[in-house]
Structure 1
Amino acid sequence: MTDFSHIRGKITYDRPLADLTWLRVGGPAQMFYQPLDEDDLQSFLKTLPLDTVVFPMGVGSNVIVRDGGISGAVIRMGRGFNHIEIEGDLVRCGVAALDAHVARRAADAGLDLTFLRTIPGAIGGAVRMNAGCYGSYVADHFVEATVITRAGEKRQIGADELEFAYRQSSLPEGWVLTQAVLKAERGDADALHAKMDAQLKKRDETQPTKDRTAGSTFRNPAGFSSTGQADDTHELKAWKVIDDAGMRGATLGGAQMSTKHPNFLINTGGATAADLEGLGEMVRKKVFQTQAIELHWEVLRVGEPAPKK
């Protein structure tokens, strides 16, 4: 039995996860750990057997936890990792800081990170997934990040190591982001806040913000140019190909593709993780059958299916 008596953070076993995700589904974490600070996190990872799977978790905005739960250690980054500090044109923020809060604090200081305002979730997930909106992405502003490796080593990494791509990065499995530094251009604070207010209004008009969702379900697909070459501009929109496939409003159990914006999976109240993932796979299959376009998940799916009865 591994001795964690020296760990200052909280460790809970078989902790249900559904209440920590925006979709409100999923089974328990075999081990659930809430670190107090970076030193505590380093100690935990050095002590945790290397064959134990690690899943860092933020606010649960972009994830489906499968009904059987997660075997291994779920690390929930909380209050010790939600700082936001302004240093000239740099914004240093803990990975648990909400994207919206970072955008607002930056705007207060006359710094333009407005693209983050309508992105659900926290900075850790935004960096890991190279989140973006309105033509701007984390990669455009990224300076460096602090990580704790799976072996418990603290490191600073740059964009070259993360290898940012569309809606993804190459952060190694088991590495835990703790903070990130973003660089922003100067702007008028009042104008930046007005810009974000307009973005919020547009989002509420076009997206099911009052429903249980996990944000955009699929990445926008790459298209093909007139010469037949792959076109990675992503001007082809996931919602459009889903709509064209006749899957707007499609249902499976308690899951539904939103009628307001068909690239949003909704838990209508009684969905299981299997309903949500199953409906997503139905959409992917139908889009490929009708348009020969392969959709790729943007929402993370983690854990194991429920045991068969």
Structure 2
Amino acid sequence: MSYPDLIAQLQPWIGEVRGRLIPNQPLSEITWFRVGGPAQLLFTPADEADLAFFLKNLPADIRVTVIGLGSNLLIRDGGLDGVVIRLSGKGFGQIELLDNHQIRAGVAVPDVRVATAAAEAGIDGLSFYRGIPGGIGGALYMNAGCYGTETRDRMVELRAVTRQGEIITLSNAEMDYHYRHSNGPRGAVFVSAVYQGFAGEPEEILGQMREITEKREASQPTKSRTGGSTFKNPEGHSSWKLIDAAGCRGLRVGGAQMSELHANFLLNVDDASAHDIETLGETVRNKVRATSGIALQWEIRRMGHFLPGKQVREFLDGDVFTGAV
């Protein structure tokens, strides 16, 4: 499918934009699942000023969606209308070492690069990012964490551009972080963040990171087309244990399969569609609810439109999801 070309509607100011604008760009090329329909208009800003100019001039009635490295993301087969913003490593991929064991990172920096840069500089406390796929932008939005540490434990402040094109700074408290969730200003596009670490020995920190890598590769399908952990852990429970108990380890729908190695990882094993993946996820939720009474919540962000006749209902028997999370 394809959408009407938005660029014609954005004249004459769109000619002053320095970043890249691509109508009807297939998003399957930039998501880790390798599924999803097109973006009506994909915008890759040149830098923060370019992003602010674009958002200030973009009509308020045009939808804006921001995606990062595409790791924890499922875009439906009908794609996304409006503008999809993706921040590039060239414009938003810098790392800066600050005083007092702090580090500033652009949102396009992969989490692992931040962990490594901090370790090499003798900044401890950020090695947990070695175990998280994706980039800093997604980590800030989702309060990503593992092995006992979350983003909210280390983030001091972040810089963002509002939907009106204003550049603002948000404190940790203003983000109102919770488990795998944040409550920052609606529509704000994060561009960088400052993290607080503490003094450490580089070799010791790098050793911790190697242990995290070994543990992750031994227990997770890191080389597969996946979105990472599929469901959040309910309070007092582990999602993978609930999925296992419901008989869903290895369960398959079309080209999508729950991992045999880690039951909470959903994989694209055979040219799956987004419909296959979401149907499998809701099948698992249905089975877990039936066996345990617990309603698993998606950790993977799902967004976009279903193709006609290819809607997926919550738990397979509930409402059709129509928004973005």
Structure 1 and Structure 2 fold alike (TM over 0.5): yes
Counterpart of 2:145 in structure 1: which amino acid?
G
Counterpart-to-counterpart distance in 2, 1:168 and 1:251? 29
Aligned length: 297
Instruction: Report the counterpart of residue 123 of structure 2 in structure 1.
Output: 111
- The higher relative CO (CA closer than 8 Å, separation ≥ 6) is in 1
Q: Is the 8 A contact 1:147 1:175 kept in 2?
A: yes
Q: Deviations over 1:184-220 (max 9, x none)?
A: 1211100100111111011111111121111100111
Correspondences of 1:43-58 after superposition (within 5 Å)? 43-58=53-68
Instruction: Report the counterpart of residue 243 of structure 1 in structure 2.
Output: 244
Instruction: Report the counterpart of residue 85 of structure 1 in structure 2.
Output: 96
2:156 to 126, 143, 147: 143
Q: Is the 8 A contact 1:258 1:265 kept in 2?
A: yes
Other structure's SS at 1:214 match: strand
Counterpart of 1:104 in structure 2: which amino acid?
T
1:128 to 133, 137, 141: 141
Correspondences of 1:41-80 after superposition (within 5 Å)? 41-78=51-88, 79-80=90-91
Counterpart of 1:144 in structure 2: which amino acid?
E
Correspondences of 1:255-274 after superposition (within 5 Å)? 255-274=256-275
Instruction: Report the counterpart of residue 229 of structure 1 in structure 2.
Output: none
How far did residue 65 of structure 1 move? 0.6
Counterpart of 1:14 in structure 2: which amino acid?
N
Q: Is the 8 A contact 1:53 1:174 kept in 2?
A: no
User: Given the two structures, how large is their TM-score scaled by the length of structure 2?
Assistant: 0.90
Counterpart-to-counterpart distance in 2, 1:269 and 1:187? 44
Counterpart-to-counterpart distance in 2, 1:211 and 1:191? 30
Q: Is the 8 A contact 1:8 1:40 kept in 2?
A: yes
How far did residue 263 of structure 1 move? 0.3
- 1:24 equivalenced with 2:34 (yes/no): yes
Counterpart of 2:95 in structure 1: which amino acid?
I
How far did residue 47 of structure 1 move? 1.2
Structure 2 stretches lacking a partner, 5+ long: 1-8, 311-325
Structure 1 stretches lacking a partner, 5+ long: 224-235
How far did residue 252 of structure 1 move? 0.5
Counterpart of 1:293 in structure 2: which amino acid?
I
Counterpart-to-counterpart distance in 1, 2:58 and 2:248? 44
Counterpart of 2:264 in structure 1: which amino acid?
N
Instruction: Report the counterpart of residue 296 of structure 2 in structure 1.
Output: 295
User: Given the two structures, how large is their TM-score scaled by the length of structure 1?
Assistant: 0.94
Other structure's SS at 2:227 match: coil
Q: Is the 8 A contact 1:129 1:169 kept in 2?
A: yes
Counterpart of 1:2 in structure 2: which amino acid?
L
How far did residue 274 of structure 1 move? 0.6
Counterpart of 2:17 in structure 1: which amino acid?
I
| Identity within the alignment, % | 48
**Stretches of 4+ aligned residues off by more than 6 angstroms:** none
Q: Deviations over 1:149-169 (max 9, x none)?
A: 111111000122211000110
Instruction: Report the counterpart of residue 174 of structure 2 in structure 1.
Output: 161
How far did residue 55 of structure 1 move? 1.1
Other structure's SS at 2:91 match: helix
Instruction: Report the counterpart of residue 100 of structure 1 in structure 2.
Output: 112
1:208 to 206, 216, 221: 221
Other structure's SS at 2:140 match: helix
Counterpart-to-counterpart distance in 2, 1:171 and 1:30? 26
